[in-house]
Structure 1
């Protein structure tokens, strides 16, 4: 056998092209993506992305729902993890920034790792689907972490604090840089809301979940909802209307004033001059009783009464509550747009908007809504439409002119109703039961059940 010439063999040997140190795949703009990254590193990046997303989800919800008082008590008992939680909660701006950076980093790591794995396998066309799948998995991890944190906020917060502190420490330069950019680009005035860690919408979502999982009782949920509505309620909606106001004339005797106080059980009574539209003061029962105790019977009501506090119908109840606390008074006179007396409002009226009706030994009022039988109710004409809708799960119309059941009937009938007058609204039938001096005092409400409910009932 003849051997090839030595020169030819050397030529083939030295002209052979060297193997590239790494391969390049060019697919749809993904050119120059290095393929020599170790598989273990890509998998580690993917795992790290999911871990960071889990930690951020657990931390965000648990630290925003945990009771600071509970954390403080645990810290006083010597629980070291509780002290770490306290330290994190002292700087909510840094905590929020850290959680957001961790989320962003988690997404970047996971997407980069999956993109590399897909390209390495040679299925470049599946990059978009792979990235979408990873995004969905990250979302599921986020949801799972949030649900777990809502169910066990204290346990999760205490356990997630240690890794979270280390992670935030590692990304501190990034947080500092972002804060610097925000300060330079944003307004210089301090935002009073920047320390708010949980928004109202976020709290409502947590409340919905807590109610569904029976962590929050119905009455607790109702009270929290009332607090949210408190800032949106006007004085006109909660005041005692003018026709129900118990007042005395300034020239009345002390005995007449005492009889009025004993009869109605009020500790404060408005005092008027000539007409109730001209309120000139407020008589306190304790001032009157002090006169009787000291034997001063020659004192007049005009001398005893205190200066009244007037508020417009359009005032918001949350602002009024603060004003009453600041003035250290419990009663305000509500005036209409013409300066006449529209009614009165007390601190008790405001608190009832949150906790419900407060009955004492002097209250003899009938309940605003009483169930007679299934689907049939007796309501006071003064009953609030919003309360009735919420209690009966119906949708009676409410507008700016009528907040009560009687006001709605006046608005729809366009006249003074008589006993027996009816009104049908959707599946709700209303009938006027009692009218006194042109005032609707009692209304019968019949809520017709849907047809499917009757069918189910017959089948049972």
Structure 2
């Protein structure tokens, strides 16, 4: 008697669902943010279950693979029977040819169905929100895991034995489960993705994100540029130094001999209370760093040499600017305001699509913050640099630079430096 096609279809459907479940759980477990799992374990029972399972990564993946393979075996057996009796059972093919056709059709149809229904769709779906699906299926997941734990242990043991035979280390679950920078970055991106565009990351999350990206920050990214450095000649009278400290509101002033490319140190405002005879008597040494030096290396040098100010030089040895410990720390924790921070960068909305900006503002930051698309180029970083790059000159106040979709009016110029601009987005 031929098998009932409906029962075969039911078994195939259940097997495909089971295979989709195991495939999805496997990719979700591999893609899940481990830091988020650790945080969930403190707030929910699902999180505690998942943390327990993740403590033995190899065993968990092995049980998922065992379950998936069992589901595929049942699917293959029933699909073979269904194809054989349901499609060719009443045909006129010879008995010799029929098994070959059955095998060919079974392989083609079953493979296509399994790839789409039990592999591609569940993996794409579960990968997109791995932590959510792990928590959603926590109960059936732990039940199936313990149901298949014995064959899973056998698979892990055989795989470890095979790896050792070729002279390779099998590692440990503890090594795999260490939280790393990738997990933290993944967690921060998930948190920022849930926020509205106008919302800002919480200060603690912003610090973590800055710390992750700190190894990409170079000395040139956080220096005080040459044209803004307040400096004095070593032969200048002390009265001139006092007036500079009072007028500029600074705590440190760079000292040079001849010109600013020949810096020899700096003086601190508190040293003036010692009634020195000359600048040389209160001169503090600095050290030189190149523009491409990573900021974390500069920070190490500050600590090793117990210095507070460094001179940043370009490839030709000229002074690009100065760098202090405070400048580097601001890359990690944001702006550090003190009694000497007086300049505020202007970001003023004048009307719809029109703003007044300080020329020192970063072009890429403005694009992200205001949703505009100012052109980016390695030749400049700031609005002032953009204007000078396209005009190839220091424009006068009132000059308007026309770009594709933008008009940038130079509002204020001081010496050879653009101070403020008016940015107008042209509606199409």
TM-score (norm 2): 0.73
Q: CA RMSD in A?
A: 4.6
2:316 counterpart residue number: 338
Query: Where do 1:203-222 residues align within 5 Å?
Result: 210-214=191-195, 218-220=199-201
Instruction: Evaluate the alpha carbon distance shift between residue 406 and residue 182 of structure 1 in structure 2; reply closer, same or farther with a 3 A threshold.
Output: farther
Instruction: Evaluate the alpha carbon distance shift between residue 102 and residue 143 of structure 1 in structure 2; reply closer, same or farther with a 3 A threshold.
Output: farther
Distance in 2, matches of 1:354 and 1:137, equals 46
1:85 aligns with 2:58: no
Distance in 1, matches of 2:239 and 2:395, equals 39
Query: Where do 1:422-437 residues align within 5 Å?
Result: 422-437=400-415
**Contact between 1:59 and 1:164, CA under 8 Å: does it hold in 2?**
no
Q: Determine which of 56, 72, 77 is the counterpart of 1:116.
A: 77
Question: Which structure has the higher relative contact order (CA within 8 Å, separation 6+)?
Answer: 2
How far the C-alpha of 1:240 sits from its partner, in A, is 1.0
How far the C-alpha of 1:86 sits from its partner, in A, is 7.1
2:229 counterpart residue number: 245
Structure 1 residues 364-420: Cα deviation after superposition (integer angstroms, max 9, x where no partner): 213243222211111222221211222232332333322222222222112221222
1:413 aligns with 2:391: yes
1:128 aligns with 2:98: no
1:150 counterpart residue number: 131
Unpaired stretches in structure 1, ≥5 consecutive residues: 1-18, 24-37, 452-460
Residue 381 of structure 2 aligns to a residue in which SS? coil
**Contact between 1:434 and 1:443, CA under 8 Å: does it hold in 2?**
yes
Distance in 2, matches of 1:113 and 1:167, equals 16
Instruction: Evaluate the alpha carbon distance shift between residue 205 and residue 431 of structure 1 in structure 2; reply closer, same or farther with a 3 A threshold.
Output: same
Structure 1 residues 202-222: Cα deviation after superposition (integer angstroms, max 9, x where no partner): 877766654454499842289
1:174 aligns with 2:155: yes
Query: Where do 1:303-342 residues align within 5 Å?
Result: 303-342=281-320
1:270 aligns with 2:254: yes
Distance in 2, matches of 1:238 and 1:87, equals 44
Moved more, 174-183 or 420-429: 174-183
TM-score (norm 1): 0.68
Moved more, 47-56 or 213-222: 213-222
1:53 aligns with 2:23: yes
